[in-house]
Amino acid sequence: MAGWVLYNTYLQNPEYRRSHILGGFISNNLKNERNTYYYADVNNTAGQIEKFHVMGAEDNQIITDPVHARLPRRENYQKLKNEILQPGDTLVICSLSALGSKYAARPELIYCRDHHIRVKILDMPATMEDFPEGLENVYDTVIGAIIQTLTTVIKQEQLRIKRQQRRGIETLKESTAWEDYGRPAITLPDNYIEVMDRWLAGNITANAAMGLMGLRRTTFYKLAKLYKEGELVL
């Protein structure tokens, strides 16, 4: 009975959820306290945790996901983002890849920026700087530049893939195999990028994303795989 009462308290009280993170307790007596959390992805988790300890992180500030965790719904990361992190908090990661591929990382950075959550990336020194009072907007410029760089790289990659596909199709047209060339291409909905970014950021469920785009489950996941790997031509 006591366990059930605690569970209900957890569900109904955001402050209680915020003070209990994935089985570990983080003191949060001050309502306006700014907290720092550390997330280690599944690649060399032990090495990342060691780096966090060197920075002074306590074990109950470090969040990891099991090795079998798959993007985009890494359970513990999603709990951290949606239930624990609050405006003014800081999220520390070793590299941008902790947030997934560049296609997945971009909406995560946008989410943190829009929710006033600072992201420190160990292998990007500019994000690690602690700016004096009155110069906090310098960080916004830094994170904005990273987001813009990701956007540019993604667009360039998509253009490169599109050019390669066009060359392949032109070559195929010159051969007898053109008459037997595959199924018609799937026409992507106009809101595809917007909805995918919301889904990858964990803001909507897969079912909601399918409904918004009018895609069947099989088609949705097939396109999602290509999108995350940068192989989907938009």
Is the residue at 171 inside a domain?
yes
Residue 149 is predicted with a pLDDT of 93
Is the residue at 233 inside a domain?
no
Q: Based on the domain organization, do 216 and 106 belong to the same domain?
A: no
pLDDT tens, 12-24?
454 444 444 444 4
Angle between helices 206-213 and 217-228 (to 10 degrees): 100
Residue 3 is predicted with a pLDDT of 34
The secondary structure of 149-208, three-state, reads HHHHHHHHHHHHHHHHHHHHHHHHHCCHHHHHCCCCCCCCCCCHHHHHHHHHCCCCCHHH
Is the residue at 154 inside a domain?
no
What is the tally of structural domains in the chain?
2
Q: Based on the domain organization, do 88 and 192 belong to the same domain?
A: no
Is the residue at 181 inside a domain?
yes
Final residue in a domain of this structure, among 149, 169, 190: 149
C-beta of residue 49 within 8 angstroms of C-beta of residue 64: yes
Residue 2 is predicted with a pLDDT of 36
Weakly modelled stretches of the chain, pLDDT under 70: 1-33, 67-73, 165, 168-186, 229-234
Is the residue at 93 inside a domain?
yes
Q: Based on the domain organization, do 39 and 138 belong to the same domain?
A: yes
Q: Based on the domain organization, do 57 and 127 belong to the same domain?
A: yes
Q: Which residues of 35-59 are buried (b: 16+ CB within 10 A; e: fewer)?
A: bbbbbbbbeebeebbeebeeeebee
Q: What is the CA radius of gyration of the chain?
A: 21
Q: Based on the domain organization, do 202 and 98 belong to the same domain?
A: no
Final residue in a domain of this structure, among 149, 167, 191: 149
pTM reported for the whole predicted model: 0.61
Q: Based on the domain organization, do 127 and 190 belong to the same domain?
A: no
Q: Based on the domain organization, do 141 and 222 belong to the same domain?
A: no
Instruction: Print the domain residue range for 14.
Output: 2-149
Is the residue at 88 inside a domain?
yes
Q: Based on the domain organization, do 206 and 108 belong to the same domain?
A: no
Q: Based on the domain organization, do 163 and 128 belong to the same domain?
A: no
Domain of 88: which CATH number?
Answer: 3.40.50.1390
Is the residue at 211 inside a domain?
yes
Task: Please give the sequence-ordered ranges of beta strands (E in DSSP) within the chain, or none if there are none.
Answer: 20-21, 24-25, 36-40, 62-64, 90-93, 118-121
**Positive or negative: CA dihedral 77, 80, 85, 91:** negative
Final residue in a domain of this structure, among 149, 183, 212: 149
Q: Based on the domain organization, do 49 and 107 belong to the same domain?
A: yes
pLDDT tens, 174-199?
655 555 555 555 678 888 888 888 88
Is the residue at 185 inside a domain?
yes
Q: Based on the domain organization, do 43 and 140 belong to the same domain?
A: yes
Count Cβ atoms within 10 A of the Cβ of residue 70 and give its class: 0-12 exposed, 13-18 middle, 19 or more buried.
Answer: exposed
CA angle at 214 for the pair 208 and 219, rounded to the nearest 5°: 95
